[in-house]
């Protein structure tokens, strides 16, 4: 597929009520180069060398429709437009407050089943009628002191830390699973081991206290089991979910879950920098061992003609490759969060991040010694102008997608 002659990109900066518009041209602009604005001020269309490209703006803009772009800019055109009303975005943010992720406990029924993402073999049958519950925050034990003025105490019971551990309040306490009950967090399911089928346990010598779980049919990695526990931790990214027997399976890219986990990390931390690396270095030898991420803006709306015409909600991320993430964390660990992911998920996440850099204008792909990328946020109900095609993550633009025709009532933005 040949490169388009013109690429449009728009990003809403709601905190200053402005929208940045970029147009990248394959050849220098000429008398036939025009940028048009629809009468409702929601659609931008660019014309150049007989080709048209259109996007919906993340939100409506205000003011006159006539702007003059810098004369010296030949192939990279950019300007800032005033946003008419940010309430369209603000109201949807309030409705979708917090971190959203697929397959939360409240969205699952007992008829749901889990399958291997690679070969579709059943891992957790619908016949088990699992009752799904949300897992507490990872740091729930440390928060117990804030939740209780006086921790429960019984006469004759152990005192101090031993009492806390006996009653499940200690940080060393483990969450026990039972048959017919499954727990859900952002990236995984915690299930009773004997409820699962077609799962093999593979002892991992470098990590003697953790057993790797893999599909008995195709040997792809599914999750892990901690030493001394009966529960299986199954990674959402390695599974498909069938909500009702006979329905089509649902699957999501690893980046969807890693992005949600990054959002959760920065919400509970003062740092917006994180190191993401694989939990088994060396399995993907051609790939960098880790990535250093700087979450520059956790909540933006953007539109790009390379990703369909509607708006996406995303994080803007600066990133660098790390050859030795563990060594980096040894000296910088107090200023950075750490996120350890399966090797396959790391490869997929890195690819997603690098592909997102390609949709940005050339001038916006780097910042000092950082590369710039976008991580789309998953939403149960799409916000912004993405409402027009529901969630962009749920409906990908198919190959050969034809940009919509220029609607009536367009005004010329560039003269």
Per-residue pLDDT band for 17 (boundaries 50, 70, 90) equals confident
8 Å CB contact between 234 and 114? yes
Higher pLDDT, 383 or 331: 331
Higher pLDDT, 52 or 377: 377
In the block, which residue shows the tokens 């026990």? 176
In the block, which residue shows the tokens 């470098």? 206
- Output phi, psi for 391, to 5 deg: -75, 125
Residue 77: per-residue pLDDT: 79
CA 381-383-388 angle, to 5 degrees, is: 90
How much is the pTM? 0.81
Residue 214 scores a pLDDT above 60 = yes
Residue 398: per-residue pLDDT: 45
Residue 135 scores a pLDDT above 90 = no
Mean pLDDT of the region 288-298: 89
Higher pLDDT, 138 or 408: 138
Task: Give Cβ neighbours of residue 79 (< 8 Å, ≥ 6 apart).
Answer: 20, 21, 67, 69
Read off the pLDDT of residues 335-391 as tens digits, 9 standing for 90 and up. 888 999 999 999 999 999 999 999 888 888 999 999 999 999 998 876 654 454 444
Mean pLDDT of the region 111-126: 94
Read off the pLDDT of residues 78-109 as tens digits, 9 standing for 90 and up. 787 777 666 655 544 544 457 889 999 999 98
Mean pLDDT of the region 23-32: 81
Residue 51: per-residue pLDDT: 83
8 Å CB contact between 397 and 303? no
8 Å CB contact between 55 and 8? yes
- Residue 147: count other Cβ atoms within 10 Å of its Cβ: 9
- CA-wise closest residue to 24 among 304, 221, 263: 304
Distances (CA, A) of 403 to 2, 24, 74, 393, 414: 15, 17, 24, 19, 20
CA pair distance 282, 284, nearest whole angstrom: 5
Dihedral angle computed from the Cα positions of residues 202, 207, 209 and 211, in that order, rounded to the nearest 10 degrees: -20
Report the half-sphere exposure of 217 (CA within 13 A, side-chain side): 11
8 Å CB contact between 353 and 347? no
Task: Give Cβ neighbours of residue 115 (< 8 Å, ≥ 6 apart).
Answer: 121, 122, 123, 239, 240, 241, 242, 249
CA pair distance 10, 311, nearest whole angstrom: 9
Higher pLDDT, 50 or 283: 50
Mean pLDDT of the region 137-155: 52
Residue 62: per-residue pLDDT: 67
CA pair distance 42, 301, nearest whole angstrom: 14
Higher pLDDT, 415 or 246: 246
Per-residue pLDDT band for 282 (boundaries 50, 70, 90) equals very low
Give the 3-state secondary structure of the chain: CCCCCEEEEEEEEHHHCEEEEEEEECCCCCCCCEEEECCCCCEEEEEECCEEEEEECCCCECCCCCECCCCCCCCEEEEEEEECCCHHHHHHHHHCCCCCCCCCHHHCCCCCEEEECCCCCEEECHHHCCEEEECCCCCCHHHHHHHCCCCCCCCCCCCHHHHHHHCCCCCCCCCCCCCCEEEECCCEEEEEHHHCCCEEEEECHHHCCEEEEEECCCCCEEEEEECCCCEEEEEHHHEEEECCCCCCCECCCHHHHHHHHHHHHHHCCCCCEEEEEECCCCCCCCCCCEEEEEEEEEEEEEEECECECCEEEEEEEEEEEECCHHHHHHHHHHHCEEEEECHHHHHHHHHHHHHHHCCCCHHHCEECCEEEEEEECCCCCCCHHHHECECCCCCCCCCCCCCCCCCCCCEECEC
Full set of structural domains in the chain with CATH: 6-96+400-412 (2.60.40.790), 105-135+175-242 (2.170.150.20), 254-380 (no CATH)
Mean pLDDT of the region 8-17: 83
CA pair distance 276, 353, nearest whole angstrom: 12
């Amino acid at each position: 597929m040949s490169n388009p002659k013109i690429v449009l990109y728009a990003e809403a900066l709601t905190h200053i009520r402005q929208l940045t518009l970029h147009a990248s041209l394959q050849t220098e602009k000429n008398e036939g180069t025009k940028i048009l604005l629809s009468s409702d001020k929601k659609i931008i269309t660019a014309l150049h060398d007989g080709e048209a490209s259109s996007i919906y703006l993340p939100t409506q803009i205000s003011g006159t429709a006539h702007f003059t772009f810098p004369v010296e800019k030949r192939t990279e055109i950019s300007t800032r437009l005033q946003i008419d009303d940010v309430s369209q975005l603000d109201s949807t943010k309030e409705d979708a407050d917090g971190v959203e992720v697929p397959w939360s406990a409240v969205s699952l029924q007992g008829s749901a089943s889990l399958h291997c993402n690679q070969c579709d073999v059943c891992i957790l049958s619908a016949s088990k009628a699992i009752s799904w519950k949300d897992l507490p925050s990872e740091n729930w034990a440390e928060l117990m002191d804030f939740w209780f003025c006086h921790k429960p105490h019984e006469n004759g019971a152990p005192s101090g830390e031993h009492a806390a551990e006996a009653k499940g309040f200690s940080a060393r306490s483990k969450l026990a699973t039972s048959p017919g009950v499954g727990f859900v967090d952002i990236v995984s399911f915690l299930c009773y081991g004997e409820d699962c089928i077609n799962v093999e346990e593979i002892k991992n010598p470098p990590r003697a206290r953790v057993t790797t779980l893999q599909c008995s049919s195709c040997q792809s990695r599914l999750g892990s089991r901690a030493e001394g526990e009966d529960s299986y931790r199954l990674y959402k990214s390695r599974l498909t979910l069938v909500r009702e027997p006979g329905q089509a399976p649902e699957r999501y890219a690893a980046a969807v879950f890693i992005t949600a986990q990054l959002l959760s990390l920065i919400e509970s931390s003062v740092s917006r920098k994180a190191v993401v690396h694989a939990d088994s270095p060396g399995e993907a030898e051609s790939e960098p061992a880790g990535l250093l991420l700087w979450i520059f803006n956790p909540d933006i709306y953007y539109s790009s003609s390379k990703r369909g015409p509607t708006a996406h909600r995303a994080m803007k991320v600066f990133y660098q490759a790390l050859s030795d993430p563990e060594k980096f964390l040894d000296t910088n660990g107090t200023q950075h969060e750490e996120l350890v992911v399966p090797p396959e998920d790391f490869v997929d996440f890195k690819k997603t991040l690098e592909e997102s850099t390609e949709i940005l204008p050339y001038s916006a792909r780097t910042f000092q010694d950082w590369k710039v990328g976008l991580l789309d946020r998953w939403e149960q109900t799409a916000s912004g102008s993405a409402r027009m095609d529901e969630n962009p993550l749920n409906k990908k633009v198919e190959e050969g997608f034809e940009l919509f025709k220029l609607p009536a009532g367009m005004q010329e933005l560039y003269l």
